Structure 1
Amino acid sequence: MTDEYNALIKNGTWVLVPRPTRVNIVQSMWLFKRKLCSDGSLDRFKARLVANGKSQRPGIDCGETFSSVVKPATIRTVLSLFVSRCWPIHQLDVKNAFLHGDLSETGHNIAYLLLYVDDIILTASSTALLQQIITSLSREFAMTDIGPLDYFLGISATRNSEGMFLSQRQYALDILDRADMSHCKPCNTPVDTQSKLGPNGPPVSDPTLYRSLAGALQYLTFTRPDITYTVQQLCLFMHDAREPHFSTLKRVIRYVRGTVDNGLQLFSSPTTKLIAYSDAAWGGCSDTRRSTSGYCIFLGDNLLSCSSKRQATVSRSSTEAEYRAVANALPKLVGSVISSANFTHLSPLLH
């Protein structure tokens, strides 16, 4: 707590003023958490002073909210380009989450900084530029250079002869422990393709546990695209989970139990081709008759983004459903081109 408070004071995060009359005061609160190593052991304790969002009134105290987190697809894009270009990459830990300050550095090289609340991944086209940026950040903010990227956001990043392997093994083990299924019998597939989930069946006895496990599996899809579709289907019923849904969720966990060492391999490969594949299952939902769109985007040999999502309206033909799937994938492809524009000349393709 002392380190957090001192960092806030040093950065000039706030200014003390007389309390205004007839205004809502947004309260603050302390959050405490443990930072773990890749093997699940304790690394250090952290304390954070944050604003209590429950004391805010939307439309009066705030018009919109902003979360300083980077998207998974952006992380995969930058890591893919880092592996292909053999750039240096470091992880930085910020003393507090209020990054209030000004930086004025100029240069003609390329650097990417990925921010997730108080965790930073920094990569640059040269070691000199990387160290220059770290020095500049350290002058402005209280932070620690942890060193070359190894473990971040519960994801283990291991360099190998082919590039980099991303794994959430410890996170998967934590899910198994939370579900009390650490010693369950593994399953070869995550879902039964012959049946579809619907709204029928008795309600689950513990809806909170269902939502907790489904949300945890959703984060596991960062390095496990093989369970993306099934998890997306499970998340459709978070508001009214039934026993058949819980049975399917347990099957996914049994599948994770047998594939706990699986992950996402990023290859060091040419990055001139950005390719998107899209598909649609026409009328796949037996209740609403809406179709399901799916897409995946590759930069060279590396998967950047994938999604499986029910379409907003009913399509009158399989052709219409396919066009809607293409329309859903195209903005993601364009976004990937923009994210990668500074790195290389790309040739986007959509199939």
Structure 2
Amino acid sequence: MLSPLPSSSTSGTRYPLHRYVFYTQLSHAHRTFVSNISHLVEPANYAQASQDPKWLAAMSSEIKALEDNRTWSLVPLPLGHRPIGCKWVYKIKYHSDGTIVRYKARLVAKGFTQREGIDYKETFAPVAKLITVRCLLSIAAVHDWPLHQMDVQNAFLHGDLLEEVYMLPPLGYCRPGEQMVCRLHKSLYGLKQASRTWFRRFSSAIKTLVSNNLEPITRNSNLKQFLNGCFRIKDLGLLKYFLGVEAARSKDGISICQRKYTLDILEEAGLLGVKPTKVPMEPELVLTTTGSDALKEPAQY
């Protein structure tokens, strides 16, 4: 059961959110799932995460995975090269019932500081848009196909980096006073070429499975075993929460929404208790030109 939300008289909020967001139309199982994923808040930066033993363990696990994968080697910065920065990003992974799979700390390179022709060359890779995901869900609903979700562990690290890229060590990694940088050997999240190297690795693996015999790819267990053998995946069960989108399935079809994503944005901006409105400005507002601009003749073309 979801715990009752405080009334406006006790919370001091003029426009409490529970007046506008309802969960009565959801099944008991999905209400439990929504409650679980909304209960915890992920750290916004390293300073916050370093105060929690669970996130410290997650960062240590990520560093170990990066080292085991030989993602980089520590070297002095060569003359004429400029290192890029990096940061930690934190995410909680959930099972389809809302229980926690793991606390995930991901090291992300600051690819916006890379220089074209020096730190990267080709960057193009196919990207699935939300409209493509909606189309796939529609087809699955019509044909009553099962939808399963899998999480590739350190997906981008499966791609070999061809360019010579140097990165500053992550916070908490090197001892104070050490003047070393990370020479990257594997594609890291955040690099401009990361998506391209991952797609090259993933597509080459998939091509070895596809043939005239469709049986291996039509059976879920075989496909999952194959992918796990190639990339080490986590089986998250039936689709529930994907890239900030909640998916609820019933006999009537599949319903998707971005409730948690929207509420997280409102909370970050400090706007959870403001007055709701359908549009971000007065609907009857008429914009007019005033002052000297109103006296100017229209431009002639």
TM-score (norm 2): 0.49
Larger RCO (CA under 8 A, 6+ residues apart): 2
- Give the structure with the higher percent strand: 1
